Structure 1
Protein backbone atom coordinates (compact mmCIF):
# COMPACT_ATOMS: atom_id res chain seq x y z
CA UNK A 1 0.00 0.00 0.00
CA UNK A 2 1.26 3.47 -0.95
CA UNK A 3 0.93 6.05 1.85
CA UNK A 4 0.69 9.84 1.58
CA UNK A 5 -0.13 12.21 4.48
CA UNK A 6 -2.71 10.10 6.26
CA UNK A 7 -4.06 8.31 3.17
CA UNK A 8 -3.13 4.95 1.68
CA UNK A 9 -3.74 3.85 -1.90
CA UNK A 10 -4.32 0.08 -1.94
CA UNK A 11 -2.00 -2.02 -4.09
CA UNK A 12 -4.84 -3.30 -6.23
CA UNK A 13 -5.38 -3.45 -9.98
CA UNK A 14 -8.53 -1.38 -10.63
CA UNK A 15 -10.56 -0.49 -13.72
CA UNK A 16 -9.74 2.92 -15.20
CA UNK A 17 -12.39 5.02 -13.45
CA UNK A 18 -12.45 3.25 -10.07
CA UNK A 19 -10.59 4.77 -7.13
CA UNK A 20 -9.98 3.38 -3.63
CA UNK A 21 -8.54 4.89 -0.47
CA UNK A 22 -7.78 3.86 3.10
CA UNK A 23 -7.18 6.44 5.81
CA UNK A 24 -4.65 6.08 8.61
CA UNK A 25 -4.67 7.55 12.10
CA UNK A 26 -2.22 10.33 11.13
CA UNK A 27 -2.90 13.89 10.06
CA UNK A 28 -6.09 14.79 11.93
CA UNK A 29 -7.06 16.93 14.91
CA UNK A 30 -8.46 14.42 17.42
CA UNK A 31 -6.73 14.19 20.79
CA UNK A 32 -5.65 10.98 22.56
CA UNK A 33 -6.89 8.27 22.76
CA UNK A 34 -8.38 9.10 19.35
CA UNK A 35 -5.26 10.76 17.95
CA UNK A 36 -5.46 11.96 15.40
CA UNK A 37 -7.48 11.28 12.20
CA UNK A 38 -10.48 9.59 13.81
CA UNK A 39 -13.51 9.41 11.53
CA UNK A 40 -15.87 7.57 13.87
CA UNK A 41 -18.63 9.72 15.38
CA UNK A 42 -19.81 6.97 17.76
CA UNK A 43 -16.69 6.31 19.86
CA UNK A 44 -16.75 9.22 22.34
CA UNK A 45 -14.49 11.62 20.45
CA UNK A 46 -15.17 15.39 20.36
CA UNK A 47 -17.82 15.81 17.61
CA UNK A 48 -16.16 18.97 16.34
CA UNK A 49 -12.86 17.10 15.89
CA UNK A 50 -14.61 14.31 13.98
CA UNK A 51 -16.33 16.89 11.78
CA UNK A 52 -13.00 18.54 10.97
CA UNK A 53 -11.42 15.19 10.19
CA UNK A 54 -14.31 14.24 7.92
CA UNK A 55 -14.05 17.61 6.17
CA UNK A 56 -10.40 16.92 5.45
CA UNK A 57 -11.29 13.53 4.01
CA UNK A 58 -14.13 15.02 1.95
CA UNK A 59 -11.64 17.34 0.24
CA UNK A 60 -10.01 14.27 -1.35
CA UNK A 61 -13.29 12.75 -2.56
CA UNK A 62 -15.83 13.55 -5.29
CA UNK A 63 -18.73 13.46 -2.80
CA UNK A 64 -19.54 13.00 0.87
CA UNK A 65 -19.20 9.30 1.72
CA UNK A 66 -22.31 7.29 2.47
CA UNK A 67 -21.60 6.72 6.16
CA UNK A 68 -23.25 3.71 7.76
CA UNK A 69 -24.52 2.84 11.23
CA UNK A 70 -22.68 -0.50 11.39
CA UNK A 71 -24.21 -3.25 13.52
CA UNK A 72 -22.27 -6.42 12.52
CA UNK A 73 -25.11 -7.56 10.27
CA UNK A 74 -25.57 -8.34 6.58
CA UNK A 75 -27.75 -5.47 5.33
CA UNK A 76 -26.35 -3.81 2.20
CA UNK A 77 -27.30 -0.18 1.54
CA UNK A 78 -27.44 1.53 -1.87
CA UNK A 79 -25.36 4.72 -1.93
CA UNK A 80 -27.30 6.03 -4.93
CA UNK A 81 -30.57 5.89 -3.01
CA UNK A 82 -29.58 6.25 0.65
CA UNK A 83 -30.52 9.23 2.80
CA UNK A 84 -29.25 9.95 6.28
CA UNK A 85 -27.13 7.22 7.85
CA UNK A 86 -28.44 3.77 6.88
CA UNK A 87 -28.17 0.93 9.40
CA UNK A 88 -26.11 -1.46 7.32
CA UNK A 89 -22.71 -3.14 7.16
CA UNK A 90 -22.08 -2.81 3.45
CA UNK A 91 -22.90 -0.34 0.69
CA UNK A 92 -22.93 -0.47 -3.12
CA UNK A 93 -22.82 2.30 -5.72
CA UNK A 94 -23.43 2.35 -9.47
CA UNK A 95 -22.02 5.04 -11.71
CA UNK A 96 -20.17 8.18 -10.68
CA UNK A 97 -21.24 10.48 -7.87
CA UNK A 98 -21.39 8.24 -4.80
CA UNK A 99 -18.67 7.11 -2.38
CA UNK A 100 -18.89 3.81 -0.48
CA UNK A 101 -17.24 3.75 2.95
CA UNK A 102 -16.87 1.53 6.01
CA UNK A 103 -15.22 2.31 9.34
CA UNK A 104 -13.07 -0.24 11.17
CA UNK A 105 -10.56 -0.73 13.99
CA UNK A 106 -9.77 -4.49 13.76
CA UNK A 107 -12.76 -5.74 11.75
CA UNK A 108 -12.00 -6.49 8.11
CA UNK A 109 -12.88 -3.90 5.46
CA UNK A 110 -13.48 -5.44 2.03
CA UNK A 111 -13.69 -3.35 -1.15
CA UNK A 112 -15.26 -4.60 -4.39
CA UNK A 113 -15.56 -3.56 -8.02
CA UNK A 114 -16.51 -5.19 -11.31
CA UNK A 115 -14.27 -5.39 -14.36
CA UNK A 116 -16.27 -2.77 -16.25
CA UNK A 117 -15.99 -0.23 -13.42
CA UNK A 118 -19.78 0.08 -13.34
CA UNK A 119 -20.43 -0.97 -9.73
CA UNK A 120 -18.38 -0.75 -6.52
CA UNK A 121 -19.00 -1.77 -2.92
CA UNK A 122 -17.52 -1.71 0.57
CA UNK A 123 -18.24 -4.17 3.37
CA UNK A 124 -17.53 -4.22 7.11
CA UNK A 125 -16.69 -7.80 8.07
CA UNK A 126 -16.18 -8.49 11.73
CA UNK A 127 -16.41 -12.16 12.62
CA UNK A 128 -20.17 -11.96 13.26
CA UNK A 129 -20.96 -10.34 9.93
CA UNK A 130 -18.50 -12.59 8.13
CA UNK A 131 -20.10 -15.72 9.59
CA UNK A 132 -23.59 -14.41 8.87
CA UNK A 133 -22.80 -13.75 5.20
CA UNK A 134 -22.14 -10.03 4.75
CA UNK A 135 -19.66 -10.65 1.91
CA UNK A 136 -22.06 -12.96 0.10
CA UNK A 137 -24.86 -10.40 0.53
CA UNK A 138 -22.63 -7.67 -0.90
CA UNK A 139 -21.73 -9.75 -3.97
CA UNK A 140 -25.41 -10.51 -4.56
CA UNK A 141 -26.37 -6.82 -4.26
CA UNK A 142 -23.77 -5.88 -6.87
CA UNK A 143 -25.93 -7.79 -9.36
CA UNK A 144 -23.16 -8.76 -11.77
CA UNK A 145 -21.62 -12.15 -12.47
CA UNK A 146 -19.30 -13.04 -9.55
CA UNK A 147 -16.61 -14.01 -12.06
CA UNK A 148 -16.45 -10.32 -13.05
CA UNK A 149 -15.91 -9.10 -9.48
CA UNK A 150 -12.57 -8.17 -7.92
CA UNK A 151 -12.17 -7.85 -4.13
CA UNK A 152 -9.53 -6.33 -1.88
CA UNK A 153 -8.99 -7.16 1.80
CA UNK A 154 -7.96 -4.13 3.86
CA UNK A 155 -6.12 -3.83 7.19
CA UNK A 156 -7.61 -5.92 10.02
CA UNK A 157 -6.51 -7.74 13.13
CA UNK A 158 -4.05 -10.50 12.28
CA UNK A 159 -4.24 -14.11 13.39
CA UNK A 160 -1.44 -13.67 15.92
CA UNK A 161 -3.53 -11.16 17.88
CA UNK A 162 -7.11 -12.39 17.31
CA UNK A 163 -7.97 -14.83 20.09
CA UNK A 164 -11.55 -16.14 20.01
CA UNK A 165 -13.62 -18.75 21.79
CA UNK A 166 -15.05 -22.08 20.65
CA UNK A 167 -18.32 -20.40 19.67
CA UNK A 168 -16.60 -18.31 17.02
CA UNK A 169 -14.82 -21.28 15.50
CA UNK A 170 -18.05 -23.26 15.52
CA UNK A 171 -19.94 -20.45 13.77
CA UNK A 172 -17.69 -20.92 10.76
CA UNK A 173 -16.92 -24.62 10.83
CA UNK A 174 -20.52 -25.85 11.14
CA UNK A 175 -21.31 -24.53 7.66
CA UNK A 176 -17.85 -25.06 6.16
CA UNK A 177 -15.69 -27.77 7.76
CA UNK A 178 -12.71 -26.53 5.76
CA UNK A 179 -12.82 -23.26 7.70
CA UNK A 180 -11.05 -25.12 10.51
CA UNK A 181 -7.83 -24.28 8.64
CA UNK A 182 -8.31 -20.64 9.67
CA UNK A 183 -8.02 -21.46 13.39
CA UNK A 184 -5.00 -22.59 15.40
CA UNK A 185 -5.12 -23.45 19.12
CA UNK A 186 -4.49 -20.57 21.48
CA UNK A 187 -2.47 -20.61 24.66
CA UNK A 188 -5.57 -21.37 26.74
CA UNK A 189 -7.75 -24.47 26.22
CA UNK A 190 -10.93 -23.54 24.37
CA UNK A 191 -9.32 -20.50 22.76
CA UNK A 192 -8.32 -20.18 19.12
CA UNK A 193 -6.33 -17.75 17.01
CA UNK A 194 -8.50 -16.82 14.03
CA UNK A 195 -7.41 -15.73 10.56
CA UNK A 196 -10.01 -13.24 9.30
CA UNK A 197 -8.26 -12.89 5.95
CA UNK A 198 -8.41 -16.62 5.23
CA UNK A 199 -12.03 -16.81 6.41
CA UNK A 200 -12.96 -13.97 4.05
CA UNK A 201 -11.19 -15.62 1.13
CA UNK A 202 -13.08 -18.86 1.80
CA UNK A 203 -16.44 -17.06 1.95
CA UNK A 204 -15.72 -15.22 -1.30
CA UNK A 205 -14.54 -18.39 -3.03
CA UNK A 206 -17.83 -20.07 -2.17
CA UNK A 207 -19.68 -17.43 -4.22
CA UNK A 208 -17.15 -17.72 -7.07
CA UNK A 209 -15.25 -14.50 -6.36
CA UNK A 210 -11.72 -15.78 -6.90
CA UNK A 211 -9.79 -12.60 -7.67
CA UNK A 212 -9.04 -11.42 -4.15
CA UNK A 213 -6.07 -9.19 -3.38
CA UNK A 214 -4.76 -7.55 -0.21
CA UNK A 215 -4.86 -9.11 3.23
CA UNK A 216 -2.14 -9.56 5.82
CA UNK A 217 -1.85 -6.00 7.18
CA UNK A 218 -2.49 -6.26 10.94
CA UNK A 219 -4.12 -3.33 12.70
CA UNK A 220 -3.15 -4.63 16.14
CA UNK A 221 0.55 -4.76 15.24
CA UNK A 222 0.69 -1.39 13.45
CA UNK A 223 -0.11 1.17 16.14
CA UNK A 224 1.53 3.99 14.18
CA UNK A 225 -0.91 3.71 11.26
CA UNK A 226 -4.08 2.02 12.45
CA UNK A 227 -6.61 2.05 15.26
CA UNK A 228 -7.17 -1.27 17.02
CA UNK A 229 -10.05 -1.88 19.42
CA UNK A 230 -8.51 -5.14 20.67
CA UNK A 231 -5.21 -3.37 21.42
CA UNK A 232 -6.46 -0.07 22.87
CA UNK A 233 -10.13 -0.42 23.80
CA UNK A 234 -11.07 3.25 23.66
CA UNK A 235 -9.90 4.35 20.23
CA UNK A 236 -10.85 5.83 16.87
CA UNK A 237 -11.87 4.39 13.51
CA UNK A 238 -10.24 4.59 10.08
CA UNK A 239 -12.11 4.44 6.77
CA UNK A 240 -11.86 2.29 3.66
CA UNK A 241 -13.52 3.90 0.64
CA UNK A 242 -14.21 3.19 -3.02
CA UNK A 243 -15.96 5.15 -5.79
CA UNK A 244 -16.29 5.62 -9.54
CA UNK A 245 -14.95 8.81 -11.06
CA UNK A 246 -16.94 10.81 -13.60
Structure 2
Protein backbone atom coordinates (compact mmCIF):
# COMPACT_ATOMS: atom_id res chain seq x y z
CA UNK A 1 0.00 0.00 0.00
CA UNK A 2 1.00 3.66 0.12
CA UNK A 3 2.54 3.78 3.58
CA UNK A 4 4.56 1.53 5.90
CA UNK A 5 7.75 1.55 3.82
CA UNK A 6 9.59 3.61 1.25
CA UNK A 7 11.44 6.90 1.11
CA UNK A 8 9.43 9.14 -1.25
CA UNK A 9 8.36 12.58 -0.06
CA UNK A 10 5.05 14.35 -0.68
CA UNK A 11 3.10 14.12 -2.90
CA UNK A 12 4.60 10.69 -3.59
CA UNK A 13 4.86 9.66 0.04
CA UNK A 14 6.04 7.19 0.88
CA UNK A 15 6.19 3.81 -0.86
CA UNK A 16 5.92 4.98 -4.45
CA UNK A 17 6.96 2.25 -6.90
CA UNK A 18 6.13 4.07 -10.15
CA UNK A 19 9.09 5.40 -12.12
CA UNK A 20 6.93 7.53 -14.42
CA UNK A 21 4.88 9.33 -11.77
CA UNK A 22 7.16 12.37 -11.49
CA UNK A 23 9.04 11.18 -8.39
CA UNK A 24 12.84 11.13 -8.15
CA UNK A 25 13.97 8.05 -10.10
CA UNK A 26 16.73 7.20 -7.62
CA UNK A 27 14.26 7.23 -4.75
CA UNK A 28 11.83 5.00 -6.66
CA UNK A 29 14.62 2.52 -7.40
CA UNK A 30 15.46 2.54 -3.70
CA UNK A 31 11.80 1.82 -2.91
CA UNK A 32 11.77 -1.02 -5.44
CA UNK A 33 14.86 -2.53 -3.85
CA UNK A 34 13.17 -2.31 -0.45
CA UNK A 35 10.12 -4.09 -1.89
CA UNK A 36 12.29 -7.05 -2.92
CA UNK A 37 14.05 -7.20 0.44
CA UNK A 38 11.07 -6.55 2.71
CA UNK A 39 8.90 -9.25 1.15
CA UNK A 40 11.78 -11.64 0.40
CA UNK A 41 10.76 -11.82 -3.24
CA UNK A 42 12.31 -14.67 -5.22
CA UNK A 43 13.32 -12.22 -7.98
CA UNK A 44 12.98 -8.59 -8.96
CA UNK A 45 9.49 -7.82 -10.26
CA UNK A 46 8.97 -7.78 -14.02
CA UNK A 47 7.69 -4.22 -14.36
CA UNK A 48 5.67 -3.16 -17.41
CA UNK A 49 5.43 0.14 -19.27
CA UNK A 50 1.65 0.43 -18.92
CA UNK A 51 -0.33 2.39 -21.53
CA UNK A 52 -4.00 1.49 -20.82
CA UNK A 53 -3.99 -0.99 -23.68
CA UNK A 54 -4.57 -4.72 -24.12
CA UNK A 55 -1.14 -6.07 -25.06
CA UNK A 56 -0.11 -9.11 -23.03
CA UNK A 57 3.52 -10.18 -22.72
CA UNK A 58 4.26 -13.83 -21.96
CA UNK A 59 7.32 -14.40 -19.77
CA UNK A 60 8.35 -10.73 -19.50
CA UNK A 61 11.99 -9.88 -19.07
CA UNK A 62 13.66 -7.10 -17.12
CA UNK A 63 13.40 -4.54 -19.93
CA UNK A 64 9.93 -3.20 -18.97
CA UNK A 65 8.08 -3.97 -22.21
CA UNK A 66 5.13 -1.83 -23.24
CA UNK A 67 2.15 -3.90 -22.13
CA UNK A 68 -0.73 -3.89 -19.69
CA UNK A 69 -0.74 -7.58 -18.76
CA UNK A 70 1.68 -10.44 -18.33
CA UNK A 71 1.60 -14.22 -18.01
CA UNK A 72 4.18 -16.62 -16.61
CA UNK A 73 4.54 -20.37 -16.13
CA UNK A 74 7.92 -20.12 -14.41
CA UNK A 75 8.19 -20.44 -10.66
CA UNK A 76 9.80 -17.48 -8.94
CA UNK A 77 9.04 -14.98 -11.71
CA UNK A 78 7.42 -12.01 -9.97
CA UNK A 79 4.78 -10.23 -12.06
CA UNK A 80 3.79 -6.67 -11.16
CA UNK A 81 1.08 -4.14 -11.98
CA UNK A 82 1.23 -0.48 -10.94
CA UNK A 83 -1.98 1.37 -10.10
CA UNK A 84 -3.45 4.49 -8.51
CA UNK A 85 -7.22 3.99 -9.13
CA UNK A 86 -7.12 1.51 -12.01
CA UNK A 87 -7.87 -2.10 -11.10
CA UNK A 88 -5.11 -4.70 -10.80
CA UNK A 89 -6.34 -8.21 -11.60
CA UNK A 90 -4.48 -11.43 -10.81
CA UNK A 91 -5.28 -14.75 -12.52
CA UNK A 92 -4.12 -18.14 -11.26
CA UNK A 93 -4.75 -21.64 -12.54
CA UNK A 94 -6.06 -24.03 -9.93
CA UNK A 95 -3.16 -26.42 -10.52
CA UNK A 96 -0.72 -23.65 -9.56
CA UNK A 97 1.17 -23.85 -12.86
CA UNK A 98 0.13 -20.59 -14.48
CA UNK A 99 -0.22 -16.97 -13.42
CA UNK A 100 -1.38 -13.76 -15.07
CA UNK A 101 -1.73 -10.11 -14.07
CA UNK A 102 -3.57 -7.27 -15.78
CA UNK A 103 -3.86 -3.49 -15.49
CA UNK A 104 -7.57 -2.78 -15.90
CA UNK A 105 -8.62 0.83 -15.80
CA UNK A 106 -11.90 1.60 -17.50
CA UNK A 107 -10.23 1.95 -20.90
CA UNK A 108 -8.40 -1.35 -20.68
CA UNK A 109 -11.40 -3.08 -19.19
CA UNK A 110 -13.66 -1.90 -22.03
CA UNK A 111 -11.04 -2.76 -24.64
CA UNK A 112 -10.74 -6.33 -23.37
CA UNK A 113 -7.50 -6.54 -21.40
CA UNK A 114 -8.94 -9.26 -19.12
CA UNK A 115 -10.05 -11.37 -22.07
CA UNK A 116 -6.68 -10.82 -23.78
CA UNK A 117 -4.87 -12.06 -20.67
CA UNK A 118 -7.04 -15.16 -20.44
CA UNK A 119 -6.37 -15.86 -24.12
CA UNK A 120 -2.65 -16.22 -23.32
CA UNK A 121 -3.27 -18.74 -20.53
CA UNK A 122 -3.43 -22.46 -21.27
CA UNK A 123 -5.68 -23.48 -18.39
CA UNK A 124 -9.41 -23.94 -19.08
CA UNK A 125 -11.44 -20.93 -17.91
CA UNK A 126 -13.29 -23.02 -15.32
CA UNK A 127 -9.91 -23.87 -13.76
CA UNK A 128 -8.83 -20.23 -13.37
CA UNK A 129 -9.43 -18.00 -10.34
CA UNK A 130 -9.27 -14.20 -10.49
CA UNK A 131 -8.59 -11.63 -7.77
CA UNK A 132 -9.62 -7.97 -8.08
CA UNK A 133 -7.26 -5.59 -6.31
CA UNK A 134 -7.84 -2.09 -4.88
CA UNK A 135 -9.39 0.34 -7.37
CA UNK A 136 -11.62 3.38 -7.54
CA UNK A 137 -14.92 2.54 -5.85
CA UNK A 138 -18.41 3.38 -7.01
CA UNK A 139 -19.03 5.68 -4.04
CA UNK A 140 -16.30 8.05 -5.29
CA UNK A 141 -15.77 7.38 -8.99
CA UNK A 142 -17.89 9.65 -11.18
CA UNK A 143 -17.41 9.30 -14.94
CA UNK A 144 -18.81 10.86 -18.10
CA UNK A 145 -21.06 9.45 -20.80
CA UNK A 146 -18.12 8.14 -22.82
CA UNK A 147 -17.39 5.55 -20.13
CA UNK A 148 -21.04 4.47 -19.95
CA UNK A 149 -21.21 4.20 -23.73
CA UNK A 150 -17.94 2.23 -23.95
CA UNK A 151 -19.43 -0.60 -21.90
CA UNK A 152 -23.14 -0.47 -22.64
CA UNK A 153 -22.55 -0.38 -26.39
CA UNK A 154 -20.92 -3.80 -26.01
CA UNK A 155 -23.36 -5.22 -23.47
CA UNK A 156 -26.61 -3.50 -22.40
CA UNK A 157 -26.46 -5.39 -19.07
CA UNK A 158 -23.42 -3.29 -18.14
CA UNK A 159 -25.80 -0.41 -17.39
CA UNK A 160 -26.48 -2.03 -14.01
CA UNK A 161 -22.94 -1.03 -12.94
CA UNK A 162 -23.70 2.70 -13.32
CA UNK A 163 -25.63 5.02 -10.97
CA UNK A 164 -26.72 8.31 -12.60
CA UNK A 165 -25.58 11.44 -10.72
CA UNK A 166 -26.15 14.49 -12.97
CA UNK A 167 -26.75 14.97 -16.68
CA UNK A 168 -24.17 13.02 -18.65
CA UNK A 169 -22.48 11.59 -15.56
CA UNK A 170 -22.71 8.54 -13.34
CA UNK A 171 -20.80 6.64 -10.69
CA UNK A 172 -19.30 3.43 -12.02
CA UNK A 173 -18.63 0.11 -10.27
CA UNK A 174 -15.44 -1.20 -11.90
CA UNK A 175 -15.62 -4.35 -9.79
CA UNK A 176 -19.09 -5.19 -11.10
CA UNK A 177 -17.98 -4.59 -14.69
CA UNK A 178 -14.95 -6.83 -14.21
CA UNK A 179 -17.02 -9.63 -12.68
CA UNK A 180 -19.51 -9.34 -15.51
CA UNK A 181 -16.84 -9.62 -18.18
CA UNK A 182 -15.06 -12.45 -16.40
CA UNK A 183 -18.29 -14.42 -16.09
CA UNK A 184 -18.94 -13.93 -19.80
CA UNK A 185 -15.42 -15.23 -20.45
CA UNK A 186 -16.07 -18.32 -18.32
CA UNK A 187 -14.25 -17.33 -15.12
CA UNK A 188 -16.67 -17.71 -12.22
CA UNK A 189 -14.22 -17.95 -9.30
CA UNK A 190 -13.63 -14.24 -8.62
CA UNK A 191 -12.28 -12.89 -5.33
CA UNK A 192 -11.42 -9.43 -4.02
CA UNK A 193 -13.05 -6.09 -4.72
CA UNK A 194 -14.74 -3.76 -2.28
CA UNK A 195 -11.99 -1.18 -1.80
CA UNK A 196 -12.11 2.47 -2.86
CA UNK A 197 -8.70 3.97 -3.61
CA UNK A 198 -10.19 7.46 -4.00
CA UNK A 199 -11.84 7.47 -0.60
CA UNK A 200 -9.18 5.54 1.33
CA UNK A 201 -5.95 7.44 2.04
CA UNK A 202 -4.02 4.19 2.53
CA UNK A 203 -3.93 3.98 -1.26
CA UNK A 204 -2.47 6.23 -3.94
CA UNK A 205 -5.21 7.87 -6.02
CA UNK A 206 -4.65 9.85 -9.20
CA UNK A 207 -8.28 10.99 -9.24
CA UNK A 208 -8.04 12.33 -5.68
CA UNK A 209 -4.55 13.84 -5.70
CA UNK A 210 -3.55 14.24 -9.39
CA UNK A 211 0.22 14.17 -8.66
CA UNK A 212 0.80 10.99 -6.73
CA UNK A 213 2.71 7.72 -6.58
CA UNK A 214 1.83 4.21 -7.67
CA UNK A 215 1.14 1.05 -5.69
CA UNK A 216 2.22 -2.38 -6.88
CA UNK A 217 0.25 -5.60 -7.00
CA UNK A 218 2.78 -8.42 -7.13
CA UNK A 219 2.28 -12.16 -7.61
CA UNK A 220 4.43 -15.20 -8.34
CA UNK A 221 4.24 -18.97 -8.52
CA UNK A 222 5.86 -20.75 -5.59
What is the alpha-carbon distance in structure 2 between the residues aligned to residue 83 and residue 37 of structure 1? 21
Runs of 4+ with >2 A deviation: 23-26
Q: For residues 34 and 42 of structure 1, do their structure 2 counterparts lie closer, same or farther at Cα, with a shift above 3 Å needed?
A: same
Q: Does 1:228 align with 2:205?
A: yes
1:71 to 29, 51, 55: 51
Q: Identify the residue that residue 244 of structure 1 maps to in structure 2.
A: 221
How much is the aligned-residue C-alpha RMSD, in angstroms? 1.0
Q: Does 1:190 align with 2:153?
A: no
SS in 1 for 2:120: helix
Aligned length: 220
Q: Identify the residue that residue 219 of structure 1 maps to in structure 2.
A: 197
5+ residue gaps, structure 1: 1-22
Q: Identify the residue that residue 207 of structure 1 maps to in structure 2.
A: 185
What is the alpha-carbon distance in structure 1 between the residues aligned to residue 150 and residue 159 of structure 2? 11
5+ residue gaps, structure 2: none
CA contact (8 A) 1:219 1:228 kept: yes
Q: 1:161-220 CA deviation, whole Å, 9 max, x = no partner?
A: 11111111011011111000000101x211011000000001101110000010011111
1:121 to 100, 108, 114: 100
1:111 to 70, 83, 90: 90
Q: 1:97-134 CA deviation, whole Å, 9 max, x = no partner?
A: 31111000000000110000000111000000000000
Normalization by structure 1: what TM-score?
A: 0.87
What is the alpha-carbon distance in structure 2 between the residues aligned to residue 57 and residue 30 of structure 1? 13
